[in-house]
Structure 1
Amino acid sequence: MTRTSTSAPADQQRDAMNEPRGVVTAILWAGGWLAAVIAVAVTAISAATALKLTGVPDPGPITTYGLPMLTAIGEFAAAIALGSAVFAAFFVPPQTDHVLDVGGYRAIRIAATASLVWSVCAVLLMPLAASEVSGSPLSEAILPKNLMTAYGQVAEVRTWFWTAVFALVAAMVARIILKWGLTTIVIGFVVLSLMPSALAGHSSAGGDHDVATNSLILHIVGATLWLGGLAAVVVYALSSGKWRALAVRRFSRVAFWCILVVGASGVINALVRVPIGELFDDTYGRLVVGKIVALAVLGALGAWHRRVTIAQLESEERPSLFVRFGLVELMVFAATFGLAVGLSRTPPPLIDTSEISTTKNAIGYDLAGPPTFVRFLTDWRFDLIFGTAAIVLAVVYLRGVIRLRRRGDDWPVGRTFAFLLGCLLLLLATSSGLGRYAPAMFSVHMISHMLMSMMIPVLLILGGPVTLALRALPPAGRGNPPGPREWIQTGVHSGYSKFITHPLFASVMFVGSFYILYLGGVYEAVVQYHAAHLLMNLHFLLSGYLFYWLVIGIDPAPRNVAPPAKLGIVLGSLPFHAFFGIALMMTSAVIAESYYRGLQLPWNYDLFADQRVGGGIAWAAGEIPLVVIMLALLVQWQKSDTRQARRYDRNAERDHDSELESYNDMLRELNKRS
């Protein structure tokens, strides 16, 4: 403990060390067990119906009620882990040497313990899931031989295995880190640990499962961050931490957006599973209504906190009012988590699957006919992940531009146009007819892929979003806690950024992934999963953005690469992209043939010819970005020479051209000697 707090003020150390550890532990465990009790009670209502619908033998009460109990405790622990890690990263400032202060250090230690609890719960849930699916008692499912067999055959067992792995990594990293910047690694792995369960369950199959899965991802992450952040600030306020008012204000802003995300995504997810007219006719629907009421209560408590208790924190030495109402809100939230777990164990209303086509069951929706230009423009299906991201990015960017304009500063119109055009293309690539047909046809998928990796990142990079943020966000000021502007600067110049912007790494991630994904068999193995399409789109965007940030980026970068070197990187990388397209056109077998034939689309087309079209698109897609890149490099090269010439002229004026005079003196001396 002393290693992390040697430079902290003495009063701050005393505040954190006086934290009642036993009280904090009791509060967190009480919340977890309250969630578990609610989950078990809700599960008991529909346990018999669930067994009847699945048609498997009763595995016994240990499995039936142990599953919701451990799930509730584990998910509550995951929320504590995520909220504590975010608290250490963003809610309280580090010390001047970027080592966590005492409050941040305590929070990251809580995150380590909570992640370990989440991992242990996930490991225990593996045999319970195998027992439930097989209908065998837990004493049989827990045998190593049966458990290994279940891992290969039962998706739920694999879900909990990967949850345990990600949570364990988060726990180990959180246990050993001391630096403030490394807390983002813990955040990343805790979020990853939530993804397996978010991609499974009621939302992962059947019609409209794409909308249901995307909404569930947003819902789980938003609710987990909301609950965990609340627990972290309550614990910190209970110890009268020095930065409690700042931490609560920052959490309040995060909680506001979490409320919006959780509410909207929850309504969308519920409507996919239950028609609005049947909410009160079924146990599942009534539980959905109860969850909506609980979220409304939480929103009201949060609004009351924003109005009353935040101001009170500034004046009270012991923030008793905030802590009391925060504890009430925390317990309501724990009960809501338990209700959500019970809801996930309750069978949704039966749907007549005879009316669901093979295509809809595979990709979530039907397609009216073969793709046409008109259908690309008019046949929309909004992507809740990337479509929302495109709109949010555009709005945030415009807010930054407007803030600069109001301040009297200029911002190039061309940069604004480029960034907004990139956001528009992102929306079109994922939510228009292109996004709708991409999972069903390889050629359309390749169009979307090329836009996501080749064109959209170029436009976003040319918009200079980091430069805009650094100019629009106010600096924290000397002696004040770092804010968003300082976080961005630290991230840009971190060791991690220097690693990923190495030319070799960025080039391999950008071009090499094409060969591994399509020619290495990865695409064929994962194309049937909705999660794979989300990860592919994310990879295309990030790898393209990283590569173009290196070669044409106008934003601050951790590496200074000269224009000739940038040109060499482009000329050395893009030919491999063209070769990939040619190799794709020359393949003798159809990639993912069984998947595309299994879709049973309502029109006939040649899969091999469609794949050759996709290869041609990949081969030709690099031409337009190449022209843009060359123009941008020429402009940057010219500006670099101009800046260098001006710098030389200023130095010459300042020292009366001493460098030239020294050179002439050297020549005169050599002439005398000769």
Structure 2
Amino acid sequence: MLGPAALLVVALFAVVAGLVVGGGAAPLLIQDPGPAVRWGLPIAKLLVNVSAAGVIGSLVLAVWALSPEKREFDRALDLAAASAAVMTVAAAATGLFTFLDVTGEQLDAGEAFGMKLGQFLTAIPLGQAWLTTTLVAAAVTVLCFAVRNHTALVFVTLLAVASLVPLAQQGHAAGAAGHAAAVTALGLHLVFAAVWLGGLIAIVVLQPVLDDKRLPVVLARYSTVALIAFIVVAVSGYASAALRIGDWPQLLTPYGALVVVKVFALVGLGLLGAIWRRFIIGRMSQQVASGLDTRPPASGATRPAAPAVTRRPLWLIVIVELAFMGLASGAAAALARTATPVSEDAVGSLARTPAEILTGVPLPPWPEISRYFTEWNPDLLWLLACGFGIFFYLAGVRRLRRRGDTWPVYRTVLWVSGLLLLAWVTSGGINVYEQYLFSAHMFGHMLLTMAIPVLLVPGAPVTLAARAIHPRKDGSRGGREWILLAVHSKVASILANPIVAAVLFAGSLWVFYYSPLFRWTMLDHTGHVWMVAHFLITGYLFVQSLIGIDPVPYRLPYPFRLVLLLGTMAFHAFFGLAIMMGTGLLLADWYGAMGWGTDALVDQQLGGGIAWSIGEIPTVALAITVAVQWSRSDEKESKRRDRHADRTGDAELEEYNARLAAIAARDAQR
């Protein structure tokens, strides 16, 4: 286990050096918690980060790359369970150190200390975050021992990822002026760095049970995941650094110096990853194909000369890569204790108007129509999702065409257009003004739930994935297997039912706007992400039930599809009219308190008008598409019957005529 040892040694060295350079462990002038806390807290956070990586990376590898039929699968889950146990202890210690650091209390076993600690963990957001992380890590520990079902492990993996959400919502991100952008960037950075680092640790631990044929296969699958993680970590790291550093001269500050160290480590990791993909994996696969053993010979044994690349240089690269990851992890732990060049009190300095107090960001320019196309508030999560969605779709189309298969151009155009529109809605002018104007919010909502799905559904992504992704035959599950399993699952069959999809599409409007969910999405960025995903999915399911190309368990006959469409859209229009005619504000302490020079009630009524009227265009498009599909279906059925008649010589028609003649003859005899 030389690789993990190198990781920990380098990480500890980096965090100690980073604390010295950044002053994160310097004594405080007031309520100094003592050297044990000043040094122990960042080291405990480092252990949380590394152990979380061990959990998430091992689970992702088990779900994506490993076969439940082989020893590698159980070994990965054992590593995940052990890492989760370490994470539980480390998170509990971090919560205790954080309490001592914040309050200046001295550790003792008295009742008063216990009461203060309990109040911190249950009533203070920072304490609640560490308590939540500790409890989730403990639950994951138990589940990794108890669960061996391949499908159920997906939910265990999601729970492990959820343990990092409280960490993303704390730290420097919590105080940044661009709170939503900071939380998103930090969350993506934590999750994908954990997948990257943890997957490599798992590879090292699993290598004794991976034979010569199996190792290149698992390495290739991990390499694909690592490449995606590298891109996300690089982009999210840049976004986080830009928010906290500001100008280029700030790189000369202690915080900037630690960021430079992380950039250096990231560049080194990128180069090592390129060596992996370009040379190591390919050479090992060639060795296996040629029937040569890639293991080094036992002591005293003789073996024919093997190619230059064997397991030994591979593990040398892995050890160096883990050392770079340790450097990055240690620098990250030190950064959490180092003051940022951009003040975390920027929110308070911006709070000059009610709107700025509520949103915590400077007011954008007045919302003229052109501003919706020139102003930007990037949401990194959805930008990355759209980027990867376009890339993998085009890669699938390219694979089909390279092997001689066809794929309609209009599907590609519609899919790319839909994702570009989604990127604009979540990062363009609508995302800028929806916090201030209900009408902008409603316009974005209507595009998410109606316009974007009308573009995405005809793209038939499931059909493309089923045709383009290579099937696996070793018992593991890749993209094709997981997509088809999800599409044919019991849950999907219920959600894809046309009636259920219509109820979710129309009913969620009333539930969302007339329940605390609406407030949650305005006050919490996690709620905002949920809102976008929810309305996008419900709209997609409804449109899929009407004009979808991808396979579904049941489709309504075309006449009933038109009836369902008209009935649902009438219900939708009634919702818009209810808001347009309403005289009470839905979120009075938000939109009504902006004080931005607009009449909140008039703007809300405008939003109702948008909800009522904007649905007409997608409705007409859907109705026309259903009618065209109906017509083409009738044409196909007529052609099928004609071909059948040609093959059988009109046997059915002749039989029918003979039956009529027999009836006529019988009647004549009477």
After TM superposition, the score normalised by the length of structure 1 is 0.83
The residue number in structure 1 matching 2:217 is 246
**SS of corresponding position for 2:370:** helix
1:62–1:138 Cα contact (<8 Å) kept: no
Q: Give the aligned residue type for 1:160.
A: W
Q: 149-158 vs 610-619, which deviates more? A: 149-158
| Counterpart-to-counterpart distance in 2, 1:206 and 1:457 | 34
The residue number in structure 1 matching 2:572 is 577
| Counterpart-to-counterpart distance in 2, 1:527 and 1:141 | 40
- Residues 214-247 of structure 1, C-alpha deviation per residue, up to 9 Å, x if partnerless? 3223322221111112122222223334521011
2:312 aligns with one of 289, 314, 320: 320
The residue number in structure 1 matching 2:544 is 549
1:31–1:334 Cα contact (<8 Å) kept: yes
Q: Give the aligned residue type for 2:545.
A: L
The residue number in structure 2 matching 1:90 is 64
1:206–1:364 Cα contact (<8 Å) kept: no
2:136–2:163 Cα contact (<8 Å) kept: yes
2:3–2:322 Cα contact (<8 Å) kept: no
2:277 aligns with one of 278, 302, 306: 306
- Residues 14-37 of structure 1, C-alpha deviation per residue, up to 9 Å, x if partnerless? xxxxxxxxx5xx965885686467
Q: 80-89 vs 58-67, which deviates more? A: 58-67
2:156 aligns with one of 159, 180, 186: 186
Aligned pairs for 1:586-597 (under 5 A) are 586-596=581-591
The residue number in structure 1 matching 2:171 is 201
**CA positional deviation for 1:288:** 1.2
Going from structure 1 to structure 2, the CA distance change for 1:477 and 1:387 (only over 3 Å counts) comes to closer
**SS of corresponding position for 2:163:** helix
The residue number in structure 1 matching 2:291 is none
Q: 216-225 vs 110-119, which deviates more? A: 110-119
- Residues 312-353 of structure 1, C-alpha deviation per residue, up to 9 Å, x if partnerless? 544403633323431332243134213212211222125384
Aligned pairs for 1:103-142 (under 5 A) are 103-139=72-108
| Counterpart-to-counterpart distance in 2, 1:329 and 1:671 | 92
Q: Give the aligned residue type for 1:610.
A: D
Aligned pairs for 1:367-516 (under 5 A) are 367-471=363-467, 473=468, 475-476=470-471, 484-503=479-498, 505-516=500-511
- Residues 88-112 of structure 1, C-alpha deviation per residue, up to 9 Å, x if partnerless? 22223x3xxxx55332232234324
- Residues 262-306 of structure 1, C-alpha deviation per residue, up to 9 Å, x if partnerless? 223212311221134434542212211122222222223323333
Question: What's the Cα RMSD here?
Answer: 3.6
Q: Give the aligned residue type for 1:506.
A: A
Going from structure 1 to structure 2, the CA distance change for 1:385 and 1:500 (only over 3 Å counts) comes to same
**SS of corresponding position for 1:593:** coil
1:218–1:265 Cα contact (<8 Å) kept: yes
The residue number in structure 2 matching 1:221 is 191
Q: 26-35 vs 325-334, which deviates more? A: 26-35
Report 1 or 2 for greater relative contact order, CA contacts < 8 Å, sequence distance ≥ 6: 2
**CA positional deviation for 1:423:** 2.0
Going from structure 1 to structure 2, the CA distance change for 1:129 and 1:450 (only over 3 Å counts) comes to farther
The residue number in structure 2 matching 1:163 is 133
Q: Give the aligned residue type for 1:321.
A: P
The residue number in structure 2 matching 1:7 is none
2:321 pairs with 1:343: no
Q: Give the aligned residue type for 1:632.
A: T
**CA positional deviation for 1:437:** 0.9
**CA positional deviation for 1:373:** 0.8
- Residues 521-542 of structure 1, C-alpha deviation per residue, up to 9 Å, x if partnerless? 2222441233322222122222
2:623 pairs with 1:627: no
Unaligned runs of 5+ in 1: 1-22
**SS of corresponding position for 2:484:** helix
Aligned pairs for 1:253-268 (under 5 A) are 253-268=224-239
2:20 pairs with 1:46: no
**SS of corresponding position for 2:43:** helix
Going from structure 1 to structure 2, the CA distance change for 1:570 and 1:78 (only over 3 Å counts) comes to farther
Q: Give the aligned residue type for 1:327.
A: I
| Counterpart-to-counterpart distance in 1, 2:664 and 2:59 | 67
- Residues 353-388 of structure 1, C-alpha deviation per residue, up to 9 Å, x if partnerless? 475345557546433433111111222333322233
Q: Give the aligned residue type for 2:586.
A: I
**SS of corresponding position for 1:348:** coil
**CA positional deviation for 1:421:** 2.4
**CA positional deviation for 1:40:** 5.8
Unaligned runs of 5+ in 2: 288-293, 297-310
| Counterpart-to-counterpart distance in 2, 1:515 and 1:60 | 54
**CA positional deviation for 1:503:** 4.2
Q: Give the aligned residue type for 1:104.
A: F
**CA positional deviation for 1:72:** 1.8
1:552–1:632 Cα contact (<8 Å) kept: yes
The residue number in structure 1 matching 2:303 is none
Going from structure 1 to structure 2, the CA distance change for 1:480 and 1:179 (only over 3 Å counts) comes to closer
**SS of corresponding position for 2:197:** helix
2:305 pairs with 1:334: no
2:532 aligns with one of 519, 533, 537: 537
Q: 409-418 vs 69-78, which deviates more? A: 409-418
1:581–1:617 Cα contact (<8 Å) kept: yes
| Counterpart-to-counterpart distance in 2, 1:377 and 1:631 | 29
Q: 364-373 vs 38-47, which deviates more? A: 38-47
Going from structure 1 to structure 2, the CA distance change for 1:606 and 1:159 (only over 3 Å counts) comes to same
**CA positional deviation for 1:452:** 1.1
The residue number in structure 2 matching 1:3 is none
Going from structure 1 to structure 2, the CA distance change for 1:511 and 1:135 (only over 3 Å counts) comes to farther
| Counterpart-to-counterpart distance in 2, 1:161 and 1:416 | 47
| Counterpart-to-counterpart distance in 2, 1:590 and 1:355 | 29
Going from structure 1 to structure 2, the CA distance change for 1:174 and 1:544 (only over 3 Å counts) comes to farther
| Counterpart-to-counterpart distance in 2, 1:310 and 1:452 | 42
2:558–2:630 Cα contact (<8 Å) kept: yes
**CA positional deviation for 1:612:** 1.8
Q: Give the aligned residue type for 2:263.
A: I
| Counterpart-to-counterpart distance in 2, 1:79 and 1:563 | 50
| Counterpart-to-counterpart distance in 2, 1:585 and 1:374 | 25
| Counterpart-to-counterpart distance in 2, 1:251 and 1:414 | 34
The residue number in structure 1 matching 2:609 is 616
Q: 404-413 vs 64-73, which deviates more? A: 404-413
2:251 pairs with 1:294: no
Going from structure 1 to structure 2, the CA distance change for 1:485 and 1:350 (only over 3 Å counts) comes to closer
After TM superposition, the score normalised by the length of structure 2 is 0.84
| Counterpart-to-counterpart distance in 1, 2:378 and 2:401 | 32
Size of the alignment, in residue pairs? 639
**SS of corresponding position for 1:373:** coil
Q: Give the aligned residue type for 2:42.
A: P
1:100–1:179 Cα contact (<8 Å) kept: no
| Counterpart-to-counterpart distance in 2, 1:599 and 1:152 | 32
2:585–2:592 Cα contact (<8 Å) kept: no
Q: 645-654 vs 445-454, which deviates more? A: 645-654
Going from structure 1 to structure 2, the CA distance change for 1:72 and 1:621 (only over 3 Å counts) comes to same
1:82–1:228 Cα contact (<8 Å) kept: yes
| Counterpart-to-counterpart distance in 2, 1:647 and 1:143 | 82
